[in-house]
């Protein structure tokens, strides 16, 4: 099984790099994300408070927020800060919104671990339970031979040593079979090795022992008692929640989970999970990098602090000494969960930070409120960042008269594909959702009901996107049965050769990803440049993680590094040519 996964991963990378989307899918596609946050009732809100009432300076918080928006390496979507269980500061960066759920990525591992703790509290599981015994009807001879010493504790602490890693999620349908038949590197319990498939097996065990799926079990035990309603967890091809990723929650509900851990499992007078389990989960169980790892939870830099981290900037950070919880969602360019964003938060609110009783500074509080409202209303000042992502000529924004001219020139025009290949869905989303749509082959523009629209045809589907110019236009996008809530914002620019350019920023508001497109208007057609964030830099890190060791790692290491990076950038930043469609 190990060799099969490596081989199929190499095939997947080949088809991805050659932009053969229909061949890239290694397993049949079944839509998993069919719903939006708006389809669910709103969750119960936490109490709000003026920062000084809880011992934190409004001016200090304003400095923190300014740091978030000015750092070009951090693309924060939302941030929420709690002290004593009350929200003292919250905000989002337009066009992102705090009332929508957001992909949490590996943050959800801590919830999978919490479900295991609930079953241990009920006496239905034990840390030393052997996996081959818990899953004995699925554990064949290979599992008994290779994994006989593997226990629940090893999965919780990421010390299983099983080599079946995240790459299998895009190459295999039978995840449990693949995990149980895989070899073990070293002795279980000896070495930390981060592997999301450990969390998937935990999710499967919770389903089996509880008799319900993971979402239903946590809804009964945790979510409903806490007033958490906007939750969606994607499932594997086997119908089991992914466990280590695939969970969507609102920032406020993420903050509630952090507060539950801070309160040692107690919520509004009820002990939802034992204090003993919370304490053990949040205590260093194994050496892991700089600070250590508990039961599906990272330790923080400050003694006693802990974190639920997801890649690209999803965080629930808990500081028991100061009774603070800080939540972020983001689309950072750094893959690793422990990144510059978490370090900045620790610098501001970790060691050395001393809250104290304060008199409310009305001017500072109003300035903080004004800043947060400005960030929620206004387009993020990322034009310079967007330009850096495109390795071609820079543009400058045009005046209103040229906006009208651009719309007039494009309205009623249709263009068919001449050369190149691109899809509306960012490559990162394609890979994580196993959703590889066909390339766009036709583009047209039209005006309707005082709106300006772009139509993109791809195979049997047509994407109709309304472009907002003063602010992003929010809308529903369906791609092969997967539903996304997006914001589309455009602006007309002019490059140094005075060519008119339509620049689109398409934000996938529930995810970490954005699609950026530039259309250069030519007399006989369009030239378009496509990019996305996070982009090729993040992809290099991701490939390094899933391809470390084995056949894939060996082949990649023998390739010309320059050629490999070139192919990667071409995949994430394609150039596509279009010709005017004649009547």
Residue by residue, pLDDT tens for the chain (583 residues) are 567 777 777 777 777 777 777 777 778 888 989 999 999 999 999 999 999 999 999 999 999 999 998 887 789 999 999 999 999 999 999 999 999 999 999 999 999 999 999 999 999 999 999 999 999 999 888 888 899 999 999 999 999 999 988 888 888 899 999 999 999 999 999 999 999 999 999 999 999 999 999 999 999 999 999 999 999 999 999 999 999 999 999 999 999 999 999 999 999 999 999 999 999 999 999 999 888 999 999 999 999 999 999 999 999 999 999 999 999 999 988 767 667 899 999 999 999 999 988 888 899 999 999 999 999 987 654 443 444 444 334 566 555 446 788 899 999 999 999 999 999 999 999 988 999 999 999 999 999 877 999 999 999 999 999 999 988 999 999 999 999 999 999 999 988 888 899 999 999 999 999 999 999 999 999 999 999 998 877 776 666 665 555 556 555 656 666 666 777 788 889 999 999 998 6
Assess whether 428 and 319 both reside in one domain: no
Residue 450 in domain: yes
Residue range(s) defining the domain that contains residue 321: 31-349
β-partners of residue 186 are: none
Assess whether 156 and 205 both reside in one domain: yes
Question: Of 131, 137, 132, 133, which Cα lies nearest the Cα of 151?
Answer: 131
Residue 357 in domain: no
For the entire predicted model, the pTM comes to 0.93
Question: What's the CATH code of the domain at 314?
Answer: 3.40.710.10
Assess whether 312 and 440 both reside in one domain: no
Assess whether 239 and 105 both reside in one domain: yes
Assess whether 326 and 441 both reside in one domain: no
Question: What's the CATH code of the domain at 405?
Answer: 2.40.128.20
Do residues 302 and 321 make contact, with C-beta atoms less than 8 angstroms apart? yes
Domain termination residue (choose one: 304, 329, 349)? 349
Assess whether 332 and 389 both reside in one domain: no
Residue 109 in domain: yes
Assess whether 319 and 447 both reside in one domain: no
Do residues 108 and 243 make contact, with C-beta atoms less than 8 angstroms apart? yes
Residue 520 in domain: yes
Domain termination residue (choose one: 349, 367, 395)? 349
Assess whether 303 and 401 both reside in one domain: no
Q: Rounded to whole angstroms, how far apart are CA atoms 315 and 310?
A: 6
Residue 20 in domain: no
| Count of the separate structural domains present in the chain | 2
Assess whether 330 and 197 both reside in one domain: yes
Assess whether 329 and 391 both reside in one domain: no
Residue 205 in domain: yes
Residue 507 in domain: yes
Assess whether 345 and 387 both reside in one domain: no
Residue with tokens 């008119």: 500
408's tokens? 């007039």
Residue 3 in domain: no
CB burial string 340-363: b at 16+ within 10 A, e below: ebbebbbebbbeebebeebeebee
Going from the C-alpha of 548 to that of each of 71, 163, 164, 193, the distances in angstroms are: 31, 10, 12, 12
Assess whether 299 and 433 both reside in one domain: no
């Amino acid at each position: 099984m190990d060799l099969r996964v490596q081989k199929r991963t190499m095939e997947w990378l080949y088809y991805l790099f050659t932009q053969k989307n229909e061949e890239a899918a290694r397993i049949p596609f079944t839509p998993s994300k069919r719903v939006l946050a708006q389809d669910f009732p709103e969750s119960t809100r936490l109490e709000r408070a003026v920062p000084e009432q809880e011992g934190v300076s409004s001016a200090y918080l304003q400095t923190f927020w300014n740091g978030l928006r000015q750092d070009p390496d951090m693309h924060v979507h939302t941030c929420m800060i709690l002290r004593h269980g009350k929200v003292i500061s919250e905000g989002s960066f337009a066009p992102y919104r705090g009332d929508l759920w957001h992909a949490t990525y590996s943050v959800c591992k801590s919830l999978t671990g919490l479900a295991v703790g609930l079953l241990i509290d009920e006496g239905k599981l034990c840390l030393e339970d052997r996996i081959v015994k818990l899953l004995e009807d699925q554990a064949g001879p290979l599992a008994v031979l290779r994994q006989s010493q593997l226990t629940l504790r090893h999965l919780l602490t990421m010390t299983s040593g099983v080599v079946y890693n995240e790459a299998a999620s895009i190459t295999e349908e039978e995840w449990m079979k693949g995990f149980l038949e895989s070899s073990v590197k070293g002795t279980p319990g000896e070495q930390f090795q981060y592997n999301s498939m450990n969390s998937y097996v935990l999710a499967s065990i919770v389903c089996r022992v509880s008799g319900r799926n993971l979402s239903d079990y946590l809804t009964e035990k945790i979510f409903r008692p806490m007033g958490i309603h906007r939750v969606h967890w994607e499932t594997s091809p086997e119908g089991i929640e992914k466990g280590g990723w695939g969970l969507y929650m609102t920032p406020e509900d993420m903050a509630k989970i952090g507060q539950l851990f801070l309160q040692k499992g107690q919520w509004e007078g009820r002990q939802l999970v034992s204090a003993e389990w919370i304490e053990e989960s949040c205590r260093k169980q194994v050496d892991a990098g700089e600070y250590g790892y508990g039961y599906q939870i990272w330790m923080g830099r400050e003694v006693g602090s802990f974190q639920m981290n997801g890649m690209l900037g999803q965080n629930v950070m808990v500081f028991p000494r100061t009774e603070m919880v800080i939540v972020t969602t983001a689309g950072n360019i750094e893959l690793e969960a422990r990144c510059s964003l978490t370090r900045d938060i620790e610098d501001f609110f970790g060691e050395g930070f001393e809250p104290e009783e304060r008199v409310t500074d009305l001017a500072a509080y109003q300035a903080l409120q004004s800043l947060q409202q400005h960030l929620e209303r206004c387009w993020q000042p990322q034009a310079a960042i967007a330009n850096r992502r495109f390795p071609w000529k820079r543009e400058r924004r045009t005046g209103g008269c040229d906006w009208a001219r651009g719309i007039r020139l494009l309205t009623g025009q249709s263009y068919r594909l001449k050369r190149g290949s691109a899809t509306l869905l960012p490559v990162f989303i394609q890979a994580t959702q196993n959703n590889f749509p066909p390339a766009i082959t036709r583009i047209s523009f039209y005006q309707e009901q005082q709106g300006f629209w772009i139509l993109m045809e791809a195979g049997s589907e047509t994407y109709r996107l309304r472009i907002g110019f003063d602010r992003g236009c929010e809308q529903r996008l369906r791609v092969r049965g997967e539903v996304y809530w997006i914001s589309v914002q455009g602006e007309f620019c002019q490059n140094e050769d005075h060519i008119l350019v339509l620049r689109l920023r398409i934000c996938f508001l529930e995810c970490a990803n954005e699609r950026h497109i530039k259309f250069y208007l030519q007399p006989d057609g369009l030239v378009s440049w496509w990019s996305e964030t996070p982009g090729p830099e993040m992809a290099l890190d991701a490939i390094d993680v899933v391809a470390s060791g084995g056949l894939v790692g060996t082949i990649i290491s023998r390739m010309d590094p320059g050629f490999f990076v070139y192919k990667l950038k071409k995949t994430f930043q394609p150039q596509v040519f279009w010709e005017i469609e004649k009547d």
